[in-house]
Structure 1
Amino acid sequence: MHDEEPAVGILPPAAKLGLVPSRHSLDNLSWPLGQPERLLGKQLKDLDRRDHLLLHPRTTSYYRPSFGTRAQVSVMVLEPRIVHERHIEKLRRFHWRFHKVLTAVEDDLIAHIPNGVFFPFGSTWVENCDDLDVTKTKMTSLIASAKRSQPGHLIRHEIVDWAKANAMDLIALGGGYQPFAQKQEGLAPYRFSVVIENSNEPNYFTEKLVDTILCGAVPIYLGCPNIDRFFDTSGMIICKNADDIRQAVKNASEQLYQSKLPALRAIYDKATYWGDLEGRAARVLLSDHR
């Protein structure tokens, strides 16, 4: 990045600005397009008006007297209403505190504020996906944590229990079952993977789907009802309920996988695009400078 170009720093989700935000180290931000030399070792107060600071939603952001910077401060609301409802409601009142509000919530948020920007979640947890060994040796996986607080959590465990009871060719992985060191271990060797979003809301899809595509597994997908807005679904198996998932698991075969493979490969680049969460966000913020 050229040293005189506008910079975009992102505060990590778990980080806090603290009582004196101006002293927050810029070296602790994420810099998807690179941290300029002029900002190395500096603090939030050293950003200037051409620069951008992007935050994840926190209740304190709506009330704090200052963000401690001259930079343009934006916020991104990525989770569905079931998780971020309070932030969606707050931003309808306090949107003016931010340069831009990045979100995929169209009817309940973007339609009500002047600075909303359509921005789906996507993201990825798979690193170096271009170098993965995606040789298929197993049929179907399902990755699940031990959580049971949201609708998608419950359906995942329901499918695992059914698969075990009926001797289906499905391997349950993740924190709730067989832990793995890297997520690709639960996707790359498999022809199919059951992908269930935590919540089925328009425009909401996550790394669960993106990572499956990047690892060359056909998604057996229950989630975003308008996912065809973002991907050609020919390389996927779209499900509307748990019964559809059960039927898809029963039907999984080498022949079906091979028939889906060309369409699956065709959406790899799109998955790479949606997986680049922070890069996409930075480019949105810099679009005003072009």
Structure 2
Amino acid sequence: MLVHVSSIHDIRRIFRQTPGNDGIWEDFRFVTGDTEHQADWFIGYDEPVPGCLTHLPLERRILITSEPYTIKYYPPVFLQQFGTVVSMAPIRGVSGRMVLGTGGLPWMYGLDQKPAPMPWQELVAGSQVAKTGEMSVVCSTKKMNLNQHRRLRFLGMLKEALGDRLTLFGRGSNPIEDKSDAINSFRYHLVLENNLIDNGWTEKLADPILGGAFPIVSGGENLADYFDPEGFRLIDTRKPRAAVETVLRILEEDPFEGAQAAMAENKRRLMMQHQFFPIAVNLIRTLAAHETQAPQRLPALKGFRSAAKPQWKKIVSVPKPLRPVLRDLYLSAAERG
């Protein structure tokens, strides 16, 4: 089965997430171009590249979104170009099938390793670096939505409580060349997702699972639908003081050694089930099994409309300089825990 996958992101970089580092998963071959128009299915990841063309009919076009609605707006006119849309939360404007779940965001762990990205075989083997540090976190200073603002406030409180026990990494403070540099030598890793919605976990969780650090997670509440709960802990940063106490209690209990079997199982689930390629393959097989007749190919190649935000959305939105101030006022009033 040939699958044409297109994205405004460098999608070829995720081919290392296949056993042969070549975009082949079982009997499916993923390619970034279809100049011979031989593909059986089309997948747009986040957005197809500008000028991307396909001959495939609507029912064989899939969109896998990369961001929740609080981060990125996907216009209905864009969504309606796909027969199936995969999203972590419902999106307005979808005219075809809506599939809720993780889209399997590309892993950052080992991606920027020099001289080449860490291949499948090394990802399976895992890091041999001694875990001499207690806890790390990688966090940007972005404040694009309420939860990004919330997590920075919480992180400041946690750092005050833990001091040198918590090592911060990120742009503008303690930059790193590769995400593995912030994970390999630590027993615990703090995962602060951009959102708190179910199915909304991202590479922020996948990376410590790959690197053998025990994740302490601020994110959606249904992580146990994906991973063994003995291999991670959840915290609720909507109640920041209670969340700080929870982190201190987890570190005092020190579940790292006793959780090794669960952590290994979670790594297996991540690599073999809950990442882009097995997600795409299982979805295509499910959709193909429900086809009542062979789809008719389009007589001419079709280009995709972009997912650019419409002008009216820009006009009615709150001016950017005011957003952090309003979010800070809201959080100061709402967060009592």
CA contact (8 A) 2:89 2:197 kept: no
Instruction: Measure, in 1, the Cα distance between the counterparts of 2:48 and 2:36.
Output: 25
1:80 match: 68
Q: Aligned with 1:158: secondary structure?
A: helix
The reply on whether 1:100 has 2:68 as its aligned counterpart is no
Distance 2:245 2:175 in 1: 26
CA contact (8 A) 2:103 2:275 kept: no
1:31-42 equivalent positions in 2, closer than 5 A: 32-33=23-24
User: Aligned pair in 2 of structure 1 residues 266, 220: CA closer, same or farther (>3 Å)?
Assistant: same
SS in 2 for 1:120: coil
Q: RMSD over aligned Cα, in angstroms?
A: 3.6
CA shift, 1:233, in A, is 1.4
Q: Which residue of 2 aligns with 1:153?
A: 148
Alignment partner of 1:223 is 2:223: no
Pick one of 55, 60, 76 that aligns with 1:90. 76
93, 108, 116: which one aligns with 1:125:
108
Check the 8 A contact 1:192/1:217 in 2, yes or no. Answer: yes
For 1:29 and 1:186, the matched residues in 2 are separated by 20
Q: Which residue identity does 2:184 align to in structure 1?
A: A
Shift of 1:190: 1.0
Shift of 1:267: 1.6
Displacement after TM superposition at 1:284 (Å) = 2.3
Highest RCO, 1 vs 2 (Cα 8 Å, sep ≥ 6): 2
Cα distance per residue 1:194-216 (max 9 Å; x no partner): 11110111211101111112212
Deviation (angstroms), 1:275: 5.3
Residue 52 of structure 1, CA deviation = 2.2
Q: Which amino acid aligns with 1:246?
A: V
Give CA deviations for 1:127-167 in whole Å, capped at 9, x if unaligned. 43223225311101111123222334334432442344345
SS in 2 for 1:81: coil
Distance 2:202 2:9 in 1: 19
1:142 correspondence with 2:137: yes
Seen in structure 2, the aligned counterparts of structure 1 residues 159 and 47 have a Cα distance that, compared at 3 Å, is same
Structure 1's unaligned 5+ residue stretches are 1-5, 16-26
Count of aligned residue pairs for this structure pair: 260
CA distance in 2, matches of 1:224, 1:238: 9
Cα separation, partners in 2 of 1:244 and 1:287, compared to 1, 3 Å = same
Contact 1:122–1:275 under 8 Å retained in 2: yes
What is the correspondence of 1:1-290 to structure 2 with a 5 Å cutoff?
6-14=1-9, 32-33=23-24, 44-48=34-38, 50-58=39-47, 68-71=53-56, 72-84=60-72, 86-87=73-74, 90=76, 94-95=79-80, 97-106=81-90, 108=91, 113-123=95-105, 124-126=107-109, 127=118, 128-131=122-125, 132-168=127-163, 169-241=165-237, 242-251=240-249, 252-253=251-252, 255-273=254-272, 276-289=275-288
Give the TM-score, by structure 2 length: 0.65
C-alpha deviation, 1:43, in angstroms: 6.2
C-alpha distance in structure 2 between counterparts of 1:197 and 1:223, whole Å: 5
Q: Which runs of 4+ in 1 moved over 6 A?
A: 27-31
Query: 1-side partners of 2:48 and 2:24: how far apart?
Result: 28
Partner SS, residue 181 of structure 2: helix
**Distance 1:51-1:247 versus aligned 2 partners, 3 A rule:** same
1:140–1:194 contact (8 Å) kept in structure 2: yes
Evaluate the alpha carbon distance shift between residue 275 and residue 212 of structure 1 in structure 2; reply closer, same or farther with a 3 A threshold: farther
Structure 1 length as normaliser, TM-score?
A: 0.74
Query: How much identity, in percent, do the aligned residues show?
Result: 18
SS of the residue corresponding to residue 256 of structure 1 reads: coil
Q: Given the superposition, is the C-alpha separation of residues 44 and 121 from structure 1 closer, same or farther in structure 2, using an over 3 Å criterion?
A: closer
Per-residue deviation at 1:54? 1.5
* Partner SS state of residue 285, structure 1: helix
